[in-house]
Structure formats: C-alpha cells, structure tokens
Amino acid sequence: MTATPAKSIPATLIPGDGIGSEVSDATLAVLDAVGAPFEWETCKAGMAGVDACGDPLPPETLASIRKTRLALKGPLTTPIGGGYRSSNVRLREEFQLYANLRPARTLIPGGRYEKIDIVLVRENLEGLYVGFEHYVPIGSDPRAVAVASGVNTRAGSRRICEFAFDYAAKNGRKKVTLVHKANVLKALTGLFLEAGRDVAKKYEGRIACDDRIIDACAMQLVMNPWQYDVIVTTNLFGDILSDLNAGLVGGLGMAPAGNIGTDAAIFEAVHGSAPDIAGQGKANPLALILSAAMMLDHVGLQEKAKRVRDAIDDVLCKDNIRTGDLGGKASTKQFTDAVVARVR
Ligand code: NAD
C-alpha cells in the first residue's frame, strides 16, 4: 500500500536579511526531508524589499500572506534610531498576530542550566511597541525631550492571558505566571495584571496562577528558572525575557517563535539578522528549524514536527554536531546535512 501524499499547504516564505538566506535554506532542506507539504510563495521584506522596490514591506508580500495566512520568516534588519519602522512589528500589526509564543527548552545537557522547559507568551501588539513616540523641542534643541506612550487594553490583555491559559491547558502545563510592573506602571501594567487574574479564575483547579514583578522575575529566572512553567507578559517585558530564556538554553541560536493571530500565523526565530556573521556559513539554523517545527504543529502535522525535534536532539547529543555558537565546529551546511540525514 502506498501512503497518500499530504495535501499541499500554501505558505509564504520570507528568507530575510543577513544570515536569513543561510538559515532559511537550511530550514527548507529539513522541511523537504520530513515531507512537509508546504507550497512556498517566496517574498521579500526588510532590506531585500528596500533594495528591490524601496519598501521594507512590499505590497506583494502582504498580499501573499493575506492569501496563505501562514508564513515562515527569516530575520529582518531594522535600522536603529532613525530609518524605517520595524517590518517585524508592522507584520504583527497588519495580521493582528497578538500572541508571540516563545518556548525555551534545554537541548544540550551539561550546560549552565539543565532541564529548562519554559514557554513565554508575549503580547505582541500593545504596550510600548505601539510606536507613539515624539520629541519635544526646548530652545535650540529640537530633541530635548523624548516621550513614548504605552497602550494596554483590557480586551488585549484578556486575549493574551486567555491564549496563555488555553495553551497551558492544551499542552499539559501546570502553571501560568503573570509578569508585570504594576507597582510602578500602575495603569499600564496594572490593567494587564487585573485582566490576567480575572482570566485565571476560569482555570481554577486546573491551571495554577501566580504573578511576579518583572525585575524579580528576571532575577529568579537566573537563580531558579525551574519554578517557571508558562509566563505571560506584556510586549516589551516579553521581548526582553525571551532573550533571557534563550540564554538559559544556550543562546539565541536555540530560540524559536510563532506569532499567532486569529486569522494568520508567522513563524520566525527569536534572533536577528546577525550582520557580524552573515555570509560566513557559520550561522546556527536551529532556531528557524525549530520555528518551522512549531509551524508543522500549527497546521496539525505534529508527527512531522516531532520527527524534526527528535532529529535535532540526536544531531546535538548523539552525533555531537554543533555550530560555533554552541561550542562546536560545524558549518551551517554540515549541521543541516546531519539533521536532514537523521530526519530521513
Ligand atoms: P542578532 O540576534 O542579530 O545578533 C546578536 C548576536 O547573536 C550576534 O553576535 C549574532 O552573531 C548572534 N547570533 C544571532 N543569531 C545567531 C545564529 N542563528 N547563529 C549564531 N549566532 C547568532 O541581534 P542584533 O545584532 O541586535 O540585531 C541585528 C539586526 O536584526 C537588527 O537590525 C535588529 O533590528 C534585527 N532583529 C530582527 C529580528 C527579527 O527579524 N525578528 C529580531 C531581532 C533583531
């Protein structure tokens, strides 16, 4: 009997800037090996969009995602200070990808921290990322004062907390921690905390809930990270804590992410375009490959996602093949070939 080929799933691919094409090529090779049925539309964004048509988020790219409602995205460069607004932030806003799911799991035993398994749920659309910023001129200095406003809504806070508790319930997790700064930002993050505590009541007896102030949480994540299970927090705190969590499990090369909304989802690594190592063939593709595994989970192909994760575990721990950021000597290609061989 021959197996029925899986129905093809249209998806948008944005290879990204810097190391983007290197880690995207690696990820496509692994997806191909596992028989992922994605039918790719390759699109440009970030610097590639600027170079091609002067737009970091070209209309064709948006139209493709509007159609496929599913994308895999390499890292995009954002100019610091001036220049254009982050294409990553714009994509999240355009498709209302309100939840940023960022799991951190120990993949290589013997590191600083063993057996880490924390899922961070970051609110993706509100808080200080809304971009309400301006300067106030004083005298001859046109930028004497900088002002930024954060915006959290009760509806947005409830929605992200519901996502976190629902994720916990569906994935066998025991506890959700609400992380905030309601002692100082009493309105902005107090509202988030209030909404989170309210959502927690619906899950009483099934999922435990506690809360932490962001600074204490950062310290505890370093001192005793095992007390955390699922963390849900506002946009900026989530951005910072997800890099901290990546550090607990070996660095940015290990951290996948999914930006999930009601109608669309975009999967990407937590890391950026790493201009310092771009084009050298030494980037670790693991984070984007793991993001692609999350994408497989998202479309209901959990068995394929598991095969990818198992292959990665074997390559890292049995074959001992690792890229330079993990203390190994393998190039991007050598690591990828090893994962492909294990997947097959
Ligand atoms: P970065 O994540 O690109 O790099 C930080 C450090 O980690 C660098 O030393 C880099 O070499 C290393 N690193 C990152 N990914 C790696 C990988 N896969 N393998 C091995 N080493 C890796 O952060 P940055 O330097 O602050 O940002 C560079 C650019 O990326 C900026 O323009 C920033 O705005 C952008 N950025 C994009 C995203 C995204 O697309 N989601 C996320 C973060 C940063």
Q: Which residues are catalytic?
A: 129, 181, 215, 239
- Whole-number Å distance between alpha carbons of 105 and 102: 10
- Whole-number Å distance between alpha carbons of 131 and 120: 23
Regarding the beta carbon of 276 and ligand 1, being less than 6 Å apart is answered: yes
pLDDT in the model for residue 223:
97
Regarding the beta carbon of 252 and ligand 1, being less than 6 Å apart is answered: yes
CA-proximal residue: ligand 1, atom 24 (nearest):
272
pLDDT in the model for residue 82:
67
pLDDT in the model for residue 89:
85
pLDDT in the model for residue 177:
98
Residues of the chain with pLDDT under 70: 1-6, 81-82
Amino acid at 76: L
pLDDT in the model for residue 278:
95
Q: Which atom of ligand 1 is nearest to the CA of 77?
A: 32
* Span from the CA of 56 to the centroid of ligand 1 (angstroms): 18
pTM for the predicted model, two decimal places: 0.92
- Whole-number Å distance between alpha carbons of 261 and 125: 10
- Whole-number Å distance between alpha carbons of 285 and 254: 9
pLDDT in the model for residue 4:
55
Inter-residue contact 288 to 316 (CB < 8 Å)? no
* pLDDT tens digit sequence for 21-80: 999 999 999 999 999 999 999 999 998 888 888 889 999 999 999 999 999 999 998 877
Regarding the beta carbon of 124 and ligand 1, being less than 6 Å apart is answered: no
* Best residue for ligand 1 mutational test, from 22, 240, 273 (most atoms within 8 Å of Cβ): 273
pLDDT in the model for residue 226:
98
Dihedral sign, CA of 63, 76, 279, 54?
Answer: positive
* Distance in angstroms between the alpha carbons of the first and the last residue of the chain: 20
* pLDDT tens digit sequence for 168-183: 999 999 999 999 999 9
